Each structure stands twice: as structure tokens, then as C-alpha cells.
Amino acid sequence: MDVDEGSSLDTIGDQSVPQHSRRCKAFHQFTQQSLPACKPVLTPKWVSSWRTTICEGLFLKMFFTVFGYLQVVEIVDRYDAECIPEAYKSNKMAYIKDNSIPKNCSQFLKVYKRMKAPIYIYYQLDNYYQNHRRYVKSKSEQQLLHGLGSNDTSSCKPQESNNGLPIVPCGLIAWSLFNDTFTFIRGKSELKVSRKNIAWKSDRDHKFGKHVYPFNFQNGTLIGGGKLEPSIPLSDQEDLIVWMRTAALPSFRKLYGRIEEDLDTDDVVVVKLMNNYNTYSFGGKKKLVLSTSSWLGGKNDFLGAAYVFAGSSCIFVSLVFLLLHTKIPGN
């Protein structure tokens, strides 16, 4: 690195001021553009050393991430199409909107690799725009924290009140609460599923009131989703809390619960689910996901692939550079 100290032009100005303070000198350096500086120059040596460092770093990261992801086991099962009875396959809307038709369904999941506890259960929705602007706006944070006492529920329209009475929790997000349920059976016994601590702690403690109870919820003519137990405060209604965290993309997963037992290879898990939620009217899809996790989270091939791509393209360009530089030396 080339380091420039203050230039010799400094001394011309300094002669009139024999004793100058450090601040005066610093100000002088600043105004004369003679601050101490380093001027790195991108020589071929630096280019190749930077590239090598970057490539090595990328490759290391690549190995770590791929190694991490290889350990994650994920089972995805789409059930919304299969769970429609034969009679209603051509008229899904009638099926889903009719409360008298039983919505039970069974799915069989085969575990292809040993899954260690905790195994996370997610429900995945596709083509569901929870990130739509009007939808995201349609809730009242004040009301979620303070309940009936808050007046600021205008953003919740049209799900603000019903029959003159306010709705708690108001808004479209709460109104469209996901209400499919899942139970898991392996062999003869039911697997233990924990439905606690699935929401973010900051939400449970600070955004949803401990003394706020559902009121006048899903009482209207148009039912949008699940109902809430009126005796449980909102801070304990973890399904609601998880659902209210609007997803970023049209295809998203939300945490349903955790299986606290290991699943061995070739285990068959029978999922008894209730296919309550209507995704048929807009062409949405519902999937059930069972996944373990690593230090990086769930199964995501993209990160490993991205690092492989970046690392290998880096190496390739470095080799090309080396070749060109040895063939055509710089001036």
C-alpha cells in the first residue's frame, strides 16, 4: 500500500503560524486535501490474491452449507386434491362450503430417512397472497394488545364489526385463519405433537394481549376460516399468532407444531387431517410438510447451489486471468 503523508506544500502555510494546535493542523490537512491516506492499487498480484481468498472462502462455505443441508430430511405431501371425495371432484366448492359433509381425510407418509426429534410440522399454502397490501393492512395492532378498549379499528374494515358489535380480533387476517388440523399416528400409537412455542416470543409477550379474549369472532354470514376459543386469551392462541405474521411470498409455510419423537427409516406415518380450509375458490394448494432442521434451518438447495456456482465461477475466472496475465504481461 502506498501511504501519502502531508505534502511539502504544507510548510508554506505553516511558516506564518509557528505554534499550531493539532486541531488546526488537522483542519489544514483537510482543507488542503493532504490527509494521510492509503492508495491501494489493483495490481495483478492483488487481483489474484483477492480472488483466491474469495474463492477459498466460497468453497469452504459451500462445503459447510451442503454438508448441513444433507442432514436435513423433509417430507412434503400435497393433500388438498387427494382429500376431496370422488363425488365432489368436479364440484370442489360445494364440498368445502358444505358443513354437513365430513372433512376427514387420511394421508400416508413414508419416512425415507431417519428423522431426529424435534420434527417440525408445517402447513404450506401456494398461490395465497398473504402479502397483498390491503390484506396486510387489515388488522389493528392496538386492538390485539388492548382488546375492546381500543377505538382504532378502522383499518379492519369490512371485518370491523358485525351486527353492531365489534369483532375481536378484527380484520381480514384473523378472519381468514387457517383451520385444518392434523394428528399423526405411527403404528398403533399417536405421535406426541407439541403445539406450544410455535409463535415468536416477542409476539406472544408484546403484541397480543394477555387479557384480550376473542369476541363476536366469525359470527357473520361469510365464514373465512377457523373459529377461536373465547375463553383463551390472544397471547395463548398460538395458531392465530403464527397466522397473523403475514408471509412474504405467495407460497409459504407456517409452523403447526413439533413432533417430539424420532422417526426411523421406512416408518409409515398416518396423518388424520381435517380438510376444513377453502383454497379451492382461488386455485390454491395445501401441503403438509414434515422437516428436521440443521444449524442453517430447513432444507434449501438454493444456498448450496448458489455457493457452488459462485465458487466455481470465481475459480474459473481466476484461472482465465492467470492464463491471460502470463501470456500478456502488463506494462
Partner 1 sequence: MILYFVYKNVAFGLTLFYYELYTSFSGEVLYDDWYMTLFNVLLTSLPVISLGVLEQDVSSEVCLQFPSLYQQGQKNIYFSWSHIVGWILNGVLSSLVIFLANIYILSPAAFKEDGHVADLTHLGAITYTCIIWTVNCQIALIISHFTWIQHLFMWGSILLWYIFLFMYGALPPSYSQRGFRILVESLGLVPMYWLVTLLVVVVSLLPYFTHIAVQRLFYPMDDHVIQEMKYSGKDVVDDQMWQREQSNSKKMTQVGISARIDARIRYLKDNLHQKKASLYRSVSPIFRSLTSSPMFYF
3-state secondary structure of 80: coil
Q: Assess whether the previous peptide bond of 44 is cis (omega < 30° from 0).
A: no
Q: Minimal distance in Å, beta carbon 216 to partner 1?
A: 24
Q: Looking at the chain, how many residues does it have?
A: 331
315 binds partner 1 (CB under 8 A): no
3-state secondary structure of 156: helix
Q: Minimal distance in Å, beta carbon 104 to partner 1?
A: 27
Q: Pick the closer one to partner 1 by CB: 25 or 325.
A: 325
Segment near partner 1 (CB under 8 A), from 95-103, 105-113, 214-222, 314-322? 314-322
Q: Which has the closest alpha carbon to 293: 139, 123, 120?
A: 120
3-state secondary structure of 205: helix
Segment near partner 1 (CB under 8 A), from 35-43, 86-94, 182-190, 228-236? 35-43
136 binds partner 1 (CB under 8 A): yes
Residue found under cell 382429500: 83
Q: Which has the closest alpha carbon to 71: 292, 309, 229, 233?
A: 292
Q: Which has the closest alpha carbon to 226: 265, 272, 185, 175?
A: 175
Q: Minimal distance in Å, beta carbon 17 to partner 1?
A: 21
Pick the binder of partner 1 from 122, 178, 184, 277 (CB under 8 A): 122
CB-based burial label for 263 (10 Å; 0-12, 13-18, 19+): buried
Site residues for partner 1, 147-186, by CB under 8 A, read none
State the Cα–Cα distance between residues 202 and 193, nearest whole angstrom. 23
Segment near partner 1 (CB under 8 A), from 85-93, 141-149, 185-193, 222-230? 141-149
Q: Which has the closest alpha carbon to 139: 161, 150, 162, 155?
A: 155
Site residues for partner 1, 198-217, by CB under 8 A, read 200-202, 206-207
- Which residue(s) pair with 324 in the sheet? none
10 binds partner 1 (CB under 8 A): no
A 10 A CB-CB count for 78 gives: 14
CA–CA–CA angle 148, 179, 86 (5° rounding): 150
Pick the binder of partner 1 from 10, 28, 44, 92 (CB under 8 A): 44
Site residues for partner 1, 47-76, by CB under 8 A, read 47, 50, 54, 57-58, 61, 65, 74
Q: Minimal distance in Å, beta carbon 139 to partner 1?
A: 12
Q: Pick the closer one to partner 1 by CB: 36 or 102.
A: 36
- Which residue(s) pair with 252 in the sheet? 125
Q: Minimal distance in Å, beta carbon 99 to partner 1?
A: 30
- Which residue(s) pair with 263 in the sheet? 115
Pick the binder of partner 1 from 215, 276, 321, 322 (CB under 8 A): 321
Q: Pick the closer one to partner 1 by CB: 130 or 218.
A: 130
Q: Minimal distance in Å, beta carbon 146 to partner 1?
A: 10
Fill in the amino acid letter for 167. Answer: I
Pick the binder of partner 1 from 18, 40, 102, 164 (CB under 8 A): 40
Site residues for partner 1, 263-302, by CB under 8 A, read 291, 293-300, 302
261 binds partner 1 (CB under 8 A): no
Site residues for partner 1, 78-97, by CB under 8 A, read none
